[in-house]
Amino acid sequence: MDFPKFKAATVQTSPVFLNVEKTIDKAISLISEAAANGAKLIAFPEVFVAGYPYWNWIMTPVHGSAWYEKLYRNSVAADGPEMTRIFNAAREYNIQIVIGMNERGDSYGEIYNTNLIIDSNGNLIGKHRKLVPTWAEKLTWTSGDGSSLKVYKTEIGPIGTLACGENTNTLARFTLLSQGELIHIANYISLPVAPPDYNMAEAIKIRAAAHSFEGKLFTIVSCSTISQEIMDAMKADVPDAEELLTRKNSAFSGFIGPNGAVIGEPLIDEEGIVYAEIDLAKCIQPKQMHDILGHYNRFDIFDLRVNVTPRKNITFIDNNEDFFGR
């Protein structure tokens, strides 16, 4: 059985705030750089295209409502022409890409926090919509459904992904592990508005280490940063926005191995790309001790059922048919 070895890259940076085209330009530049350095996989932050709703945290819901419209206007379809440029870059540079985006829904109002999984042939092979927006995020995003809790087979190995706080959801993580996940992409945003005693960077690392140690797999973390551009944009409505959005230890990006330990030097708050050599064969031996998907579990006691049916907002029935379509 083949267990691939490859070089991976993860990005810690900010988007060009609420500007889809320029953010995609930036993403393609980073993809080109990572590929030139030998990477076969690159991970981007949560909702990198094209920004996070920080106004939810520092404005009242009424005050921040105008910003919601701005975000909606800068949300895009997962397979739309804007994202096609990313697909083409994956093919051109022969690299797998996982990238977060604001995905426009069908109601002219709903937005999903979505991660796209793109293979090295430029195919969109999957997307995951965040299941539950976290805390103030509920003012912006619609919840996803179980149909996107999938692991995708690629030439470098099986990839799964969860966005930000849902990496604390034990059942969601187990659902991915049970499908043979060996590469987990956990992407985040910098969140300096957390409670004063909350170390966001450390919390991100703990979550990633927990998933890697429990599942005996590699976790790749990509986190955004808050640029001066973002803070300046908020100042017109919140004069002390810069103070509210600036705090150390708010972003962590890096790699965690199957033993739960950090690989190499992660990025804390600083922007950049970091790399690691991934050898999926290292996921085998640790399972001899604790394989929660096999011998180290009791499925005669525990039974997890996952509804993977896509949610439908409406079902149309022809007047000439009865309820059962006859």
Report the alpha-carbon distance of residue 314 to residue 298 in Å, rounded.
39
CB 209, CB 256: distance < 8 Å: yes
Q: Is 287 a catalytic residue?
A: no
288 three-class SS: helix
Q: Is 292 exposed, middle or buried (0-12, 13-18, 19+ CB in 10 A)?
A: middle
Q: Which position has the token pair 């955004």? A: 224
Q: What are phi and psi of 88, to 5 degrees?
A: -65, -35
d(Cα 233, Cα 207) in Å, to the nearest integer? 31
Question: Among this protein's residues, is 40 annotated catalytic?
Answer: no
Burial class (CB in 10 A: 0-12, 13-18, 19+), 324: exposed
Looking at the DSSP bridge assignments, the partners of residue 96 are: 41
Catalytic residue among 40, 46, 127, 283: 46
Pick from 257, 112, 126: nearest CA to 184 = 257
Contact status, residue 190 vs residue 224, Cβ threshold 8 Å? yes
Active site residue 164: yes
Picking from 262, 264, 259, the residue whose alpha carbon sits closest to that of residue 283 is 259
Give the integer Cα–Cα distance in Å for 302 and 296: 12
DSSP 124-159: EEEEEE-SS--GGGGGTPPP--GGG---EEETTEEE
Amino acid symbol at 2: D
Catalytic annotation, pick one of 26, 82, 164, 283: 164
Catalytic residue among 26, 40, 127, 130, which?
130
What would the DSSP string read from start to end of 279-294? EGGGGTGGGGT--TTT
The DSSP call for residue 310 is P
So which residues are the catalytic ones? 46, 130, 164
